[in-house]
Every structure is written in structure tokens, then in C-alpha cells.
Structure 1
Amino acid sequence: PAMYSSLHAADSDSDDSLLSDVSASPTRRCSPAPRPAPPKHRPTPDPTSKPKRKPKPKPKPVPSSTSAPASASASASASASAPPIRAAALSDPHGLAARIAPGSALTASASTVSFSSFRRLVQSRNLSFEPAAAFSNPGPAPELEPEPESEPAEIPSAEPSPPPAATHPPPQLRPKRVHPNSVSEAPAAAAEQPKRPRGDPGNFVRLNINGYGRKKSFKSQARRPTKYRSWKRQQPGGGKPRAGADEEGDFVAEALLEREKNSAAGDDGVLKVVEVAREDPSEQNLEGLLRKVFGYDSFREGQLEAIQNVVAGESTVLVLPTGAGKSLCYQLPAMILPGLTLVVSPLLSLMVDQLRKLPAFLPGGLLASSQTSDEFHGTLRLLRAGEIKVLFVSPERFLNEEFLQIFGDTLPISLVVIDEAHCISEWSHNFRPSYLRLRASLLRRKLNIQCILAMTATATTQTLQEIVNALEIPSGNLIQTSQIRENLKLSISMSDNRLKDLMLLLKSPPFVNMRSIIVYCKFQTETDYVCKHLCDNNINAKSYHSGLLMKKRSRVQELFCSNKIRVVVATVAFGMGLDKSDVEGVIHYRLPESLEEYIQETGRAGRDGRLSHCHLLFDSTTFYKIRSLSHSDGIDEYAMSKFLNQIFSSGNTMGCICSFPKESTSRKFDIKEEVLLTVLTQLEIGEEQYLHLLPQFSVTCTLYFHKFSGELSYELKDPAYCYMILKRPDDLNALSANLTKWLSEVENSKIRKLDAMFALAYYAVKGCKKTDGCSGSEHTPCIQKRIIDYFSKKEGTPDDDYCTPLRKSSTFLQSDIKVFLQSNSFAKFTPRAVARIMHGISSPAFPAATWAKNHFWGRYMEVDFPVVIEAAKAELVKFVGKGE
């Protein structure tokens, strides 16, 4: 018997595997053909004709009864006879035996062929049948009874068999496969088995039955290397892993690579237009440059005046609505001015987006903390070579003296652009301590800068005055347009069940037919919860907040911009630098913290000039929660005094470099880390400069010795604020009182902004007379009027007494505070700490993870915070006086 390797049996297209299985099949009982008589003797097989084991063996003839010399003569006599009449044999309905070459490895009867094919088909459809076990190692085939030496039975055939060759038989053609279920006379097409996947073991196919496994929805999710990694491997030593790089570093590197690929050498036409505009920055020449590079026919309101001021070297404050083209006001001058344009931006994602949107003829760069040392020095090398015209940096870079020393006489700066300039003012809705350092005195003293462009989309009169004073910009160079676009329909509705109303809103006109909608939430957990609820109700949505990885946020923004997802549920971080002009709707799931924030977020819609809709779901519970959180940054004078004593301790003399860990100090004085930085910044830029801030660093270094590999690694922990003492205050108590008062005013400013937002929403829902065009939930006329009044309010005008639902007293407040102090006598409380717990506000010393389990947590959220502080102060005096 012939033996066949598993390689033959595993291949579904192999003829040898088919014949080996056919030869081992039992005969069919219903066959009318008589069984051949047993032979007189068994022929001796030829050992040289056995098939050899090769990767791709070809079928060779094996010894059989047809190859014997005796049968050769019988075969010749049979072929010489007249051809038989064509008929369908009952034992061979498919005619398979007639097409099997006489020189094949094994020969079987027609009934054997038919039954074996049917048996294989039935077994292959059985769920418990394992073809790998059945066909890969078939084992030794049973011995077949050889054909008799007499003349074989005549096989019906359409054509007579050709006479055999004298010496060697001619090479036989591959036999055609016949469908096992065919009942036709003519041979039918073979039923091919499904091809197994490439590299898959056996004949099994991997199935994704219950949704497990990788699901590719978009092309960019395929398993292939990114552009940056492909490019990096082509560089010298590019295959090595980048030590210390994180996912934000990869994100920045990919943006730089994309910028490098998209950039092109400036052609002569653009250079000529730039030279003409540089010599004469007239309106006609600037519009020619605008058409040549940016493809626009004319400037929008405020753009031309700002560009002409900057080109002439005059510092300017520019206030344009969201999406009105503020970026153009520094991109076009950057092409004309001879030196570098330095752009200060608050967010890394915003810087990367602005870098990508630079025109191809304007080379740009980026300095970020997430870059590796090679990338950082590579950018500096391009800067010194003059190959970068626009450089994006964060405000924290100005704390680094080495960074400031880079820009000297060898690298002149023609323009400094401060994006989101309202962050400079502590009275703004988005105050950032690092922006406080961006003063004209610092910029001129350290960088020798003469021209500053401050840009913002939302700023009150008081905030604008603070910006003008800090940057020393003439008041006549303030360019301001309307902060409200006329193509926005503004609506507000009272909601008792915001999740249910949101679903109803998205499934009813006009939002049901919108392709791009942004839903703004306040908290990250709330964002994920709302997004999950929308997805469960067949609404294509994704969440976006700062808790997600940079690449995932970038992916969500990319899908939203390409209209592959309809709804993005996001926090306030989404939308800054969003390059999507066809957003049709914005829904506020919670009350915004200020009118500035409300205008900035609604401004994401309708940038293409088409009619867009913005809706606010208003409820008083949200107002209580947000107003309580507005008191999270306050400091008691007692805590401020202790903190200053640590900064200016007796051992910290003038010129001494000191530091303190952020986390432990924050927990010790119950002051947030951001507030600690604000106090240090105020000590540096105040009326008297007491200290000089230095870059942050880690105070703990842990070394790891790896015994087997012989390597040494380290880990930096406990980030700390570092500073140098320049002057010791004469009166620490007076300084502590002044700083506490200043922080209290900043806190009150934030609360007044929230009260103004509440008053607008409450008026639209409850007090609107609906006489100026308001109808139903749409209140565009009255909302626009109150917004204009808010932003045009003159400095020095007394603040409005906004009506809020907060209570000024409570019957059981004093008694509940007393019980709380008695049941938690082990803790050291301050009046502010007790009030925070009663309002449900987490703090470094009393985090929500521990104290939210207390049944007094958030019980008096509806009572005004100063009222709770006074009650806590009175009870603490009694509690300490009794010695409890």
C-alpha cells in the first residue's frame, strides 16, 4: 500500500489526498457490478515507484494490477475493441472512474469513488468531525485485492481510451473533481472546500463569534506602524526604542513629521508677493498675499487692522469671536516680518493643531515638555539655522532661564503672540498662574521684544483693562468686534431629568437631522456616563476629556472632523483649535460657569456661516454643585500665615535656593497645588519681588540595581516647587493678610460670573415676556441683549445683585455642625474645612474618597458658603473652649 504524508492530506486541492481516501472506502452494496474474483497470486510491487517525501510531490505511478505485464496485453486488446455505447452506470453515476488516469497511484471501482466522496462530505459537515485528525495522518491504508489477470471489465466512457505507450506511459492530466451530490450525466463542477487563512494550522478557520477579538472599523486602526515609526526606522539608529518618550511625545513627533512632509519650498511667486507686502503693507498688497497663500479673497472684520498694526511694529489687543480667524492675524505677519514669531498657547493639543494648520510656505516648530532630548535639540538646531519662522511654546517655558537665554542677539524675535490672553487677568473666567509671568517688563527685559499681539475671544471690560496694563499696550490699539455671531439660535429649557431630555432633544427637530453635535458636560465621569447612555440608545457618540490618552483624544477629534461619529460628549477642553466649520449644534448638559465660557462653547457651532442651534438644559441642582466648587480655591488667613512662615523660615536667607514637595505641602496646609503656585507667582511679580521662581524638579530619586542584567535604573518622585529668596518681608502678618484678601477677591469674581450665568438662564426660563421675538424655548433676542450688557459694563460700575436661590440661614445648621465635630474629634478642623464638608467639596487634607461616606457630606449645599463658615467658626470656638 502507498503511504501519503500529512502535507498531501492537509492540502484541500491535492489529488493524492482524494485518491488515498477513496481507496480506503468500503464498496457500495447496491452496486450491480459483480465483485472481481480473487487473484491467483499477489504481484510483486516495484520499490522504485514509491512516492518520495518532497515539499510539493507529484503523483507517480505505483505498482498495481494494471502495471503488470499480463494486464498490459489485456488492456491493449480492450482498447482495440469497438467503443461502448455511452450510458450512465448505476455504480458510477458521476463518471469519476472514467476520468481517473490508468497510471494513478491507486485504482478503485466506481462504487468506491461515489460512496467515499459522499462519506467525506457528510463527515466534514459534522460539528464533532475534526478534519485535521482524520486526514492529516490517515495511517497505513488497508491492502486492496489486486485485479485479476484476466481482461478487466469494460468501463463506459465517452471516448475510447488511448493506447498505452511502448515504453513509459505519457504524463497524465490532473483528474477533474466532481461534485459529490451531482445526479447529472455530464460531470459537474467540483465543490471546493473553503480555503484556510494564511498561516492558520490545519483546516480550521478562526471565527469572531461573540464580538471578541480585534474589530477594524477604520483604515487607520489596522495593525501597521505609524508614519513616524516607519520614518524613524529609516533613520540611522532608528530601530532603537526611544527612552523616556511617552504617548504625548509620539503625538508631537507625528505632528512634526506630518508638518515636514507637507511643507514645500517656497516658489518664486510667493516670495515675490511677500517682498512686495514687506516693502508696502497696503491693503491691496496684503490681500494679494492673502489670495496667493491662503486662498481667501478678502479679510474679515478686524483682521486687516490687526495685521497692519503688527507689521508696523505696534502692540495690539485683538478680540474676535470664536472661529473668526484670529490665527491668520499672526500667520500672515510672520511671513513678512524678518525675525521669529513666538506663539504662547495654553494647551499642547492646541499647539499641535495650530502647527499642523500653518501654510506650507511658513515653516513652524514646537517645544513641549513631552519631547525627548534629541527632538528638543533638533528643534533648537533648526531655530539657530533660521529654518523655523513660527515657534509654539507653553507659558511654563518662561520659568526656564536656559530657554530665555536661547533668544538673544543671535536669534531675534519680531513678534510675540499670546493666545487666550484672558488667562493673564486674575479676573478672567480661565485664570492661569503661569500666564501671570507674561508681563511686558519680563518680555522686554529678557527677550528684547517690542511688538506683542494679545488675542482672545471672550473678555469683559475689566479683563481687557487688566490685559492692556500687564502688557503695556496703548488703549487705542484695542480691536474689538461683536462677541456674538448672528447665525446662532440660542435656546434654554428647564429640565428635571436631563438625561431623558437630552435623548428627546437629539431625536427631535432640529437636532435629529444634524450630522455634527457637541454635548458639553462638567465632569469626566459624567462625560463617560452620558456617552455610554447615548451609545446604548443607538446614537453614534464618543467621549472626550483630559483623562483620556492623547492619542485617543486625537483619534476622537479626527473621527468627528471626518463625520464618522455624530456626537462628541466632552468637557470644556474640547473645541480649542477645532478645525471643523460645519458643527451644526451645541448642547450644554450642565450650566456653564460663566457667560464667557458659554459664548466660547456655543461659538464652536456655525463657523461656516450657516444657521446653527445651541441649547442649554437648565436645573437648579447643577447650579448648587458648581457654586460650591467655586469655593474650593479659597485659603484661610491662618493657613496662609503658616505657609509663608515655611517659605521664609529662619534658615532661608537671601540668595538661598529652596524647595518644598507639592503633594505633602498641599496636604499639610489644605491648599490645592495650583493655589500654591499662584501664591508663589504673586510673590514674584507683585509690588515687591520677594522671590524668583525656578523650574520644578523632583526631590526624591530612587535607584534600582538589576543584579542579573548588570544595569542601573532610576525613578524620580515627589515633584517640588523651587525658588530663590530675593528679599525677606518685613511683616509676614501684613503680607499674609494682603494675599488672603487678594485670593478672596479672585474667588468672589468667579462666583459673580457664575451668578450672572444663572441669572441669564433663569430669566430666559421664568422671566422672559416673549415680546422681543422669543418663542417657546428659543430666547435668542433676550440672551443676546443680556450678554451685550454684561460685556459692555464699565469698570467701576457696582456689581449687579444677581438673584440666586441660595438660602442665608438654616434651622439645624448649628446643631449639625456640633454633632459633626463631636463625632469626628480626632481630626483637626478649620472653619473652612468644616464648611467644605457641609458643601461636599473635596480638599487635599479632607478628600472626597474618605469623607464622602460621612452623612453630613454635602448636606448644606443650598446654604450660602460664607454663612456655613461663620456657623462653623462659632461652633469651633465653643468646641475648643470646652476642651473637647
Structure 2
Amino acid sequence: PPIRAAALSDPHGLAARIAPGSALTASASTVSFSSFRRLVQSRNLSFEPAAAFSNPGPAPELEPEPESEPAEIPSAEPSPPPAATHPPPQLRPKRVHPNSVSEAPAAAAEQPKRPRGDPGNFVRLNINGYGRKKSFKSQARRPTKYRSWKRQQPGGGKPRAGADEEGDFVAEALLEREKNSAAGDDGVLKVVEVAREDPSEQNLEGLLRKVFGYDSFREGQLEAIQNVVAGESTVLVLPTGAGKSLCYQLPAMILPGLTLVVSPLLSLMVDQLRKLPAFLPGGLLASSQTSDEFHGTLRLLRAGEIKVLFVSPERFLNEEFLQIFGDTLPISLVVIDEAHCISEWSHNFRPSYLRLRASLLRRKLNIQCILAMTATATTQTLQEIVNALEIPSGNLIQTSQIRENLKLSISMSDNRLKDLMLLLKSPPFVNMRSIIVYCKFQTETDYVCKHLCDNNINAKSYHSGLLMKKRSRVQELFCSNKIRVVVATVAFGMGLDKSDVEGVIHYRLPESLEEYIQETGRAGRDGRLSHCHLLFDSTTFYKIRSLSHSDGIDEYAMSKFLNQIFSSGNTMGCICSFPKESTSRKFDIKEEVLLTVLTQLEIGEEQYLHLLPQFSVTCTLYFHKTSPQLLADKDILLRSILNKSEMKDGSYVFEVPRVANDMRITMNEVFDRLQKLKFSGELSYELKDPAYCYMILKRPDDLNALSANLTKWLSEVENSKIRKLDAMFALAYYAVKGCKKTDGCSGSEHTPCIQKRIIDYFSKKEGTPDDDYCTPLRKSSTFLQSDIKVFLQSNSFAKFTPRAVARIMHGISSPAFPAATWAKNHFWGRYMEVDFPVVIEAAKAELVKFVGKGE
């Protein structure tokens, strides 16, 4: 059986429990099946009414687990066969449904059966339409006995809500972890105990050999591991594929408590979970999990059967989640993967990461040790990480961010599709077995992949628009060398367990040097010579640079948005909310930018509000049995709901925050009560309008000053993103136009000069211009003013801001002016080659004239 987390923190206690003659000295197959059965019991994959509730918000509220023991499952041990004089007859093997969960190859152990009336049995047999009992039609068109039975079951035989494709993908990963766990080994426990007592280099290398199979550490790994084991917070910067995961996996075996890993992508978490060593039990909590799966993971945590837990930053920052861990589960280490996302000056910062602060971790979870890991970070980004997590600057471990075994080449391309085909059919790429082609957009990815397949190149596309299982299948085929080329967006390669990728081709210009290094770093992880090529053209640069302006906000829109947040109707200390989609469209601000502003109001110099989990806040109630008034007489919550509801076609529509404030309870408690009534058959409900929820802690003294400061801050973040793109363009332009072919550069191969400029970039302070910096953007245009005037006159029905006009001229979609509506306009994207601020100023001047004339 797999070694339990409790065993790693108390090996002697485990040794006592598995001593000869104890109850745990059963056969390996019996113990393994019992362990597997416990996992099935804790996950409870059968249909339960509680799992039918699914909140459509991207970061659902977590519910604390009720304090109750799991129900006893009948033993699956086969009873001894009765004595017989004749050998038993040969039985035909029973057909097993592809979705069933069983312990292969334990044919002798019969799976425990559920009672006939349990709806879980029905749903499990009928998932995806397989194994369905035949439905016999009645000539009188009356329901048959089977139909009547099905109709009586809660849920009417429908699949459980929340059993979506991503949830199944996570469940499969958890089952795979259980099945692949190795048998316990006293030798491992002894090595762990020795390393715990004395974490010297010799003892840590002994643990490395015993568990991970490596003879020695790579550069930076040993120092990081020793820091973490000693309880010292550390920032670790290692190149892609240099073994960052080992730096928390090995300490997790030594440290007594839980290791919590905050990771940005579900697919990345699943990959990391699957790659944990067999002696290190792990689990994950994702928003796509059902309530049963979530509580099952919590049960395993409380039982000490999980040592490493992967969570998303959104889930990690949930109040209920923090309370559960702060009260019951000791955490020895918090690992923040892709830590560059913490900094707004990084190439890929996220609002949820922005909220990760040392003060929150220490206050809520009593965390004393933090390990922040990234593959690429500039000097300013590293300083932001150190400040946010309060890590001593002396505990920064950084190695070279580029690998010496990569040959880097860049060529100017007027026809990228044709040149890509030429590359793949010419040396050195023609002889490579594994190549990644990186594109920018999903449609472009599919188009390039189709073109390659039409030309007899074995290729598959990979992007976030594909189903999770299909993405997993593509990655599996690529790792097993059954696909030669994967055409992918930036998400592909994070956590990719394939060391023999021989080539990386960039079909489009990366958005930053950090992105370029990360993606090229997926080649040559085995230390062999690998090749990376960039197809460079200025048209791509124009498009990507235009998109860099999509997150900006005018001060006028910011002021209106802040007025809505702090409106007089929003009382301090009460739950407030606003729907994401309609608010985004109203102010022409992207949803993620709205969240960024809210986050800044929470973590800025002054804390104006406290962010709550996202909910769908508009609820429609349908009563089925008892009169609503009779139910309200017995239930004070229903009484409040009826008082604050609006009648529509016999249903009751209300805002959940209003009811929660009226009752002085949380929104989770409102949903819990509605769930109980739903299970009793009294009512059903629907949720809509996903919203950002918050509580006002303090009102700003000067709303205009706050608006100006936030607008300026967002403008600086936007400019930082643009400078990163310009630096990438400057490097590529220098390689194809300015390189003097010295220091080993020849033809399109520019490894020496590219490496030198990358080193200079990461050592510079943010905002320092390049000496030979240049972009092809124009600072003026002869017909810009007149075209804007014609555009305003022909679209006088719309209300434009200068930024909205500039976005249309640059071909940038926005919530209020989406590409689906405006891309057919004659002026869409016409002035992409003119610098965006120049277009804004021209639009501002024309709008003043237009409004002054009263047009």
C-alpha cells in the first residue's frame, strides 16, 4: 500500500502498526484493494443530491465539511467457497462498463453492491449512455415499470450537475495516483528519518537516490532544499526543466506537516500530481470538482493520507478554505509555483496571485516557510516577489535562465506558412522526432495544424479551446512519440514530462523575452543539442502590440466604476456585488481588469474593501409542493426571501446578497438552506448573473484622487507589457538586421548575440531603454484625423470614448465594442501601424469637435 503521510512524519509509529502479527499484515492485494476502496468511499462518485448544486462562477464558494464519519461500506472480501465434490462450472467473464471503478486485476474480489433504490447505482451504470437497460415501449404509451422507477428517482436519472469533463479528468488523475502507488518500504522510512534528523548533503543525496533515483543534485537544488528544511523562506529561479519540482517534493517527505502547492493551471496541477513519487501521497482541490470530491479530499487530508496538496490561487484565497486549514491542518510549507505572476511588472501577472501576500499567509494559516519558484524573472519582478512574500534578499537562489545546449536562430519571413513547411522538411528539423510549434491564437493553431497534416506531417493542435481529455490525449501521444509535431498556444509545455523535445519553432513573435525563454526551454531538457527557430515578421508585431492596449482604462470610466462600487446603497460591512458581464459591457472594461481593480482596492496602501468568493447572485425559486406562504411561516429565511422577491410567471426572483444581509448570514448559508429544501422536493431554483462580491471596509476620502491613482497604476502596468514586447522585437530585429555576424553568429543562427542580449535584459532595471531600440510604428498619419471624423459621423448612434475609437482603429475587441459586431466596419484595424497614444489623441480632438457641433 502507499505510505501514508502520517508515516512520513512518524515512521516509528507506522513501523509499530505494520509489525508482524498486526492487523495490517494482510496480503498486498488485500491491503491495496482496501486502500483503493477507502479512496472510492471518500470520493463518493455516486450521484448525491448535494452534488446537483453547481455554482457557475469561476471560483465557487467552498463549504466546510460536516463533522461526521463516512458511512461504513460492506466488505468486498470474497467469502471462502463452500466445500464441493465437483469443480465449479466455468463462468463467462462479466462485462465491465468502461466508466466503472474497479481494482484490476482483482477478479476474485467482488465490488460492493449498492441497494437498488440508490440513484448512484443507476447513474454510474448509465453515464455517457453505456450499459443502459433496454426501455420497452408500451403500445398504450404508458410508462413501463422501468420508466416509472426511473421517474421516481431523485434527479430523474439525469447525470449529476458538476460531473463535467474537467471534473472527470481530475477524478481520473486521483484514481491513477492511488493505483500507481508503490508498496511501503521500511528502507525509505529509515532514509527519511535520517535526513530529518540531519539534513546534510550526504543524507539528502541518500534520500534522493532512494526515492527519486538520481545520484546528485543539479545546480541550485541542494541549497533550496536545505533552506526549506531549515524553515527559511526562499525564492528559486531555475530554467525550465531544471528540476524545480524536486525542491518541494523532497522537503515534503521530511517536513512534519502538509505541503501546499499553489499552481495557476488545472492541467499543470494534474501533471504535477501524477508525477509525484509513489511514496509521496498527493491530492488536489479544483473548482471543477463536485462537492463529494471536495469533501472526500478533505477527509483524506484529515486522515493524514495526503502529504502534498495542489490548489489554484482562487481556491486558496477562499475564506472557508483558509478557515478549514487554519483550524485543523498544520502546514509546514507553502509553495508558490510560477511566482512571477505575483508581480504586476511580470510578463504574466494575475489578480489572484496579486493577493498572495506574506501577511495573509501568516495571519490566516500561520505559515512560516514559503518557497516561491519561477523560471524567468527580471530584477524588478524578483524584487516585487521578495517584498510581497517578505523573503530575505539573501535567500534568493538564481541560476542562468538560458541553457547552453540550445541553438537559437531567427529569420525574417514574408510567408510564414511556407517557411514553416520548409523548416520542417529541411535539416536539422527534418530528422527530429519531437517538435513544438508555438502560435498565438487558437484559430491560427488549428489552421497551421491542418496545413501540416495536408502536407503529410504528423501533427496535432493543442489549445485551451479543446476539451480537457483531448488535450490530455494529445500530450500523451506526443510524449510517447506517436506525434511528431504539436502546434500549440503558450499553455502547452507547462509541466510537460518529456525531456527529448528536439526543436521549438515560434510561428509568431513571443510577447516578451520571458515567454521566449520559457518556450525555448522546453527543448533539450536531456542535455542534448536542440534547435529553436523564430519566424519573424513586422505584421505580427503590429497585431500583438495593439492587443497590449486591450486592458487600459480611461480615467472617466474608472471614476464611474468606483462610484458604483462605493455607491450610497452599498452599506459598510454588508455584502455587495455587481454582475460581471453587464458591468464589463457598461464601462467597456474587461472582466479580469475589473477584478484587478478590486484586488488593488483590497491590497493597496489602504484597504478599502474585502473580496469575497464569486457567486451567481440572481436566484429564481420554483415551489412544487407546499404553498410558499405556509413554508415561510415555518422558515424565517424563506420569509425574508419572499419579502425581497419579485414575482415572475409564478416564480420568485431575488438577489442572494440582499437576503444574506437581511438575515446577517453568509451567502453560503443561504444556499445550504435552499439545498435542503430542494432535496426534500419542496422547491427548485436556478442561478444566473455571475458576480464579483465584496464588503466595504472604508470609503475613500477623495474618490477622484483614488480614480486618478488607479488609472495611472494600470497605465504603468500596460506600458510595462509594451516595453517587454518592444524588447523582444528589438532582439529579433537586431538578429536579422543588425547582427555583424561576429562571435560565432552565422546565417540565421544567432545564439551568441541572442544570449548576450537576454543576459543584459534580465540584469537591467525595468524601463531602461535599449541602445539600439527601434520599432516600425508611425507617429503620425496624413488621413487619421479625417478618417476618425468620417467614422464618428457614420456611427453617430454609438457613444464613443477616445480609447474606444482608438481600439476600433487598431482592431482591438472590447466588451462594449466586440469584434463580432465591429470587425466588418471599414475602419477596423486600419491604423494598427500608428502608435496607439497618437490615435487616442486624434480621437479625443475629433470627439470634442463632434460633440461641440451637437452631431
Q: 1:163 to 1:675 in 2, by over 3 A?
A: closer
Q: 1:737 to 1:708 in 2, by over 3 A?
A: closer
Q: Is the contact made by 1:320 and 1:457 (CA closer than 8 Å) also made in structure 2?
A: yes
Q: Distance in 2 between matches of 1:223 and 1:833?
A: 60
Q: Is the contact made by 1:99 and 1:176 (CA closer than 8 Å) also made in structure 2?
A: no
Q: Is the contact made by 1:103 and 1:169 (CA closer than 8 Å) also made in structure 2?
A: no
After superposition, give the CA deviation of every residue in 1:305-346 in whole Å (9 maximum; x if it has no partner).
000000000000000000000000000000000000000000
Deviation at 1:402, TM superposition (A): 0.8
Deviation at 1:410, TM superposition (A): 3.1
Q: Is 1:455 aligned to residue 426 of structure 2?
A: no
Deviation at 1:408, TM superposition (A): 2.5
Q: 1:687 to 1:632 in 2, by over 3 A?
A: same
Q: 1:239 to 1:355 in 2, by over 3 A?
A: farther
Deviation at 1:793, TM superposition (A): 1.1
Q: What runs of 5+ residues in structure 2 fail to find an aligned partner?
A: 625-677
Q: Is the contact made by 1:92 and 1:111 (CA closer than 8 Å) also made in structure 2?
A: no
Q: Distance in 1 between matches of 2:378 and 2:133?
A: 49
Q: Distance in 2 between matches of 1:632 and 1:247?
A: 31
Deviation at 1:771, TM superposition (A): 1.2
Q: Is the contact made by 2:225 and 2:251 (CA closer than 8 Å) also made in structure 1?
A: yes
Deviation at 1:660, TM superposition (A): 0.4
Between 580-589 and 188-197, the greater mean CA deviation after superposition: 188-197
Q: What runs of 5+ residues in structure 1 fail to find an aligned partner?
A: 1-82
Q: Distance in 1 between matches of 2:68 and 2:586?
A: 109
Q: Distance in 1 between matches of 2:679 and 2:480?
A: 51
Q: Distance in 2 between matches of 1:90 and 1:792?
A: 41
Deviation at 1:267, TM superposition (A): 1.2
After superposition, give the CA deviation of every residue in 1:483-542 in whole Å (9 maximum; x if it has no partner).
010110000000000000001110111111111100000000000000000111111111
Q: Distance in 2 between matches of 1:412 and 1:125?
A: 22
Secondary structure of 1:208's counterpart equals: helix
Q: 1:800 to 1:768 in 2, by over 3 A?
A: closer
Q: 1:602 to 1:227 in 2, by over 3 A?
A: farther
Q: 1:882 to 1:612 in 2, by over 3 A?
A: same
Deviation at 1:701, TM superposition (A): 3.1
Deviation at 1:198, TM superposition (A): 32
Q: 1:205 to 1:103 in 2, by over 3 A?
A: farther
Q: 1:731 aligns with which of 702, 726, 737?
A: 702
Secondary structure of 2:79's counterpart equals: coil
Q: Is the contact made by 2:11 and 2:189 (CA closer than 8 Å) also made in structure 1?
A: no
Between 124-133 and 491-500, the greater mean CA deviation after superposition: 124-133
Q: Is the contact made by 1:270 and 1:293 (CA closer than 8 Å) also made in structure 2?
A: yes
Of structures 1 and 2, the one with the larger relative CO (CA 8 A, separation 6+) is 2
Q: Is the contact made by 1:498 and 1:589 (CA closer than 8 Å) also made in structure 2?
A: yes
Q: Is the contact made by 2:42 and 2:299 (CA closer than 8 Å) also made in structure 1?
A: no
After superposition, give the CA deviation of every residue in 1:426-480 in whole Å (9 maximum; x if it has no partner).
0000010000111000000000000000000000000000000000000000000
Q: 1:723 to 1:168 in 2, by over 3 A?
A: closer
Q: Distance in 1 between matches of 2:62 and 2:350?
A: 92
Deviation at 1:96, TM superposition (A): 80
After superposition, give the CA deviation of every residue in 1:675-713 in whole Å (9 maximum; x if it has no partner).
000000000000000000000000233457899999965
Q: Is the contact made by 1:95 and 1:187 (CA closer than 8 Å) also made in structure 2?
A: no
Q: Is the contact made by 1:837 and 1:858 (CA closer than 8 Å) also made in structure 2?
A: yes
Q: Is the contact made by 1:177 and 1:189 (CA closer than 8 Å) also made in structure 2?
A: no
Deviation at 1:243, TM superposition (A): 3.6
After superposition, give the CA deviation of every residue in 1:127-168 in whole Å (9 maximum; x if it has no partner).
999999999999999999999999999999999999999999
Q: 1:107 to 1:570 in 2, by over 3 A?
A: closer
Q: 1:195 to 1:623 in 2, by over 3 A?
A: same
After superposition, give the CA deviation of every residue in 1:241-271 in whole Å (9 maximum; x if it has no partner).
5442100010000000000111134311000
1:224 aligned partner: 142
Q: 1:618 to 1:209 in 2, by over 3 A?
A: farther
After superposition, give the CA deviation of every residue in 1:51-81 in whole Å (9 maximum; x if it has no partner).
xxxxxxxxxxxxxxxxxxxxxxxxxxxxxxx
Q: Distance in 2 between matches of 1:319 and 1:587?
A: 24
Deviation at 1:238, TM superposition (A): 16
Tell me how large the CA RMSD over aligned residues is.
Answer: 21.5
1:51 aligned partner: none
Between 362-371 and 740-749, the greater mean CA deviation after superposition: 362-371
2:329 aligned partner: 411
Q: Is the contact made by 1:249 and 1:370 (CA closer than 8 Å) also made in structure 2?
A: yes
Q: Distance in 1 between matches of 2:301 and 2:11?
A: 84
After superposition, give the CA deviation of every residue in 1:94-127 in whole Å (9 maximum; x if it has no partner).
9999999999999999999999999999999999
After superposition, give the CA deviation of every residue in 1:570-611 in whole Å (9 maximum; x if it has no partner).
000100000000100000000000000000000000000111
Q: 1:113 aligns with which of 28, 31, 41?
A: 31
Q: 1:269 to 1:865 in 2, by over 3 A?
A: same
Deviation at 1:861, TM superposition (A): 0.3
2:726 aligned partner: 755
Deviation at 1:204, TM superposition (A): 35
Secondary structure of 2:119's counterpart equals: coil
Secondary structure of 2:532's counterpart equals: strand
Q: 1:258 to 1:711 in 2, by over 3 A?
A: farther
1:254 aligned partner: 172
Secondary structure of 2:125's counterpart equals: coil
Secondary structure of 2:487's counterpart equals: strand
Q: Identity of aligned pairs, percent? A: 100
After superposition, give the CA deviation of every residue in 1:281-312 in whole Å (9 maximum; x if it has no partner).
00000000000000000000000000000000
Larger Cα Rg: Structure 1 or Structure 2?
1
Q: 1:135 to 1:484 in 2, by over 3 A?
A: closer
Deviation at 1:802, TM superposition (A): 2.3
Secondary structure of 1:96's counterpart equals: helix
Q: 1:569 to 1:702 in 2, by over 3 A?
A: farther
Q: 1:175 to 1:106 in 2, by over 3 A?
A: farther
Q: Distance in 1 between matches of 2:517 and 2:702?
A: 44
Secondary structure of 2:684's counterpart equals: strand
After superposition, give the CA deviation of every residue in 1:829-866 in whole Å (9 maximum; x if it has no partner).
00000000000000000000111111100000000000
Q: Is the contact made by 2:97 and 2:131 (CA closer than 8 Å) also made in structure 1?
A: no
Q: 1:737 to 1:215 in 2, by over 3 A?
A: farther
Q: 1:98 to 1:521 in 2, by over 3 A?
A: closer
Deviation at 1:782, TM superposition (A): 0.5
Q: 1:515 to 1:214 in 2, by over 3 A?
A: farther
Q: Is the contact made by 1:416 and 1:451 (CA closer than 8 Å) also made in structure 2?
A: yes
Deviation at 1:401, TM superposition (A): 1.0
Paired residues in the alignment total 802
Q: Distance in 2 between matches of 1:837 and 1:622?
A: 18
Q: Is the contact made by 2:405 and 2:527 (CA closer than 8 Å) also made in structure 1?
A: yes
Between 166-175 and 517-526, the greater mean CA deviation after superposition: 166-175
Q: Is the contact made by 1:696 and 1:720 (CA closer than 8 Å) also made in structure 2?
A: yes
Q: Is the contact made by 2:345 and 2:717 (CA closer than 8 Å) also made in structure 1?
A: yes
Q: Is the contact made by 2:445 and 2:487 (CA closer than 8 Å) also made in structure 1?
A: yes
Between 86-95 and 842-851, the greater mean CA deviation after superposition: 86-95
Q: 1:145 to 1:189 in 2, by over 3 A?
A: farther
Between 220-229 and 734-743, the greater mean CA deviation after superposition: 220-229
Q: Is the contact made by 1:644 and 1:732 (CA closer than 8 Å) also made in structure 2?
A: yes
Q: Is the contact made by 1:833 and 1:846 (CA closer than 8 Å) also made in structure 2?
A: yes
Deviation at 1:230, TM superposition (A): 27
2:41 aligned partner: 123
Q: 1:192 to 1:512 in 2, by over 3 A?
A: farther
Deviation at 1:656, TM superposition (A): 2.0
Q: 1:775 to 1:101 in 2, by over 3 A?
A: closer
Q: How does 1:459-474 map to 2 (within 5 A)?
A: 459-474=377-392
Secondary structure of 2:619's counterpart equals: strand
Q: Distance in 2 between matches of 1:382 and 1:269?
A: 25
Q: Distance in 2 between matches of 1:119 and 1:364?
A: 17
Q: Is the contact made by 2:438 and 2:508 (CA closer than 8 Å) also made in structure 1?
A: yes
Q: 1:811 to 1:227 in 2, by over 3 A?
A: farther
Between 386-395 and 170-179, the greater mean CA deviation after superposition: 170-179
Deviation at 1:760, TM superposition (A): 0.3
- Higher helix proportion: 2
Q: 1:209 aligns with which of 97, 121, 127?
A: 127
Q: 1:105 to 1:171 in 2, by over 3 A?
A: farther
Deviation at 1:385, TM superposition (A): 1.1
Deviation at 1:87, TM superposition (A): 88
Between 173-182 and 449-458, the greater mean CA deviation after superposition: 173-182
After superposition, give the CA deviation of every residue in 1:782-838 in whole Å (9 maximum; x if it has no partner).
000000000011468567672100000000000000111011111000000000000
Deviation at 1:89, TM superposition (A): 89
Q: Distance in 2 between matches of 1:147 and 1:881?
A: 62
Q: Is the contact made by 2:723 and 2:767 (CA closer than 8 Å) also made in structure 1?
A: no
